[in-house]
Structure 1
């Protein structure tokens, strides 16, 4: 009985380039939008097509405007301290804080919407006043 051993094929140049680009993307994603902007500016300074390519990629992937694929922040979870009463208190407090944070974000969104509506209504009133005159 023979055991089949997997044959390891050398990676093609395209696979290596794809792997390097993926690792670079992951490295920049871990550091956030400022790292992407710095990479783009350096690309424009040293090799302008690289900067242009980064700008296009950032716009296409929505990294330029802060719309990342991760919409919800990961929930914080600390290792158990061994004290079940404290762990329960900590979990309850963290949940309450997360709920308050979510409510506050919703409140800010409603506040922005109300401000935008008020500004738009004011614009429409001025516009109507000009057309009437």
Structure 2
């Protein structure tokens, strides 16, 4: 067998392995994170380097910490909304709707900020009122005790 034939067969084997791994990855993605975790655990049980490799791949590809492995390639790009559909009326409607939604989002975030500030102010005012009431109560008790002690000192002198 010549070196060219060996090179071609080596490439064929590599593409077959790549293809198999691609199909396995797609199969596991279709079943979600539990399938990935099960594959990793089985890898650790039967051949620990395989389990370690799956764990490393899950962390590297962010499958371990993402919400879902499903439809990873079907996610919409944020730039997809900027593309023209070819229909000018629809594009104008889409642009206006997106602008309106952004305005509503800004208004809602502003409302939430004001709501948080009002809640913080109410909590702070309550804290200060409680502190003042505690200081008055402690001050009244100290005045009762302090005036008796002060009179006793004056009588003794």
TM-score (norm 1): 0.42
Whichever structure has more helix as a proportion of its residues is 2
| Greater RCO (CA < 8 Å, at least 6 residues apart) | 2
Q: Max radius of gyration: which structure?
A: 2
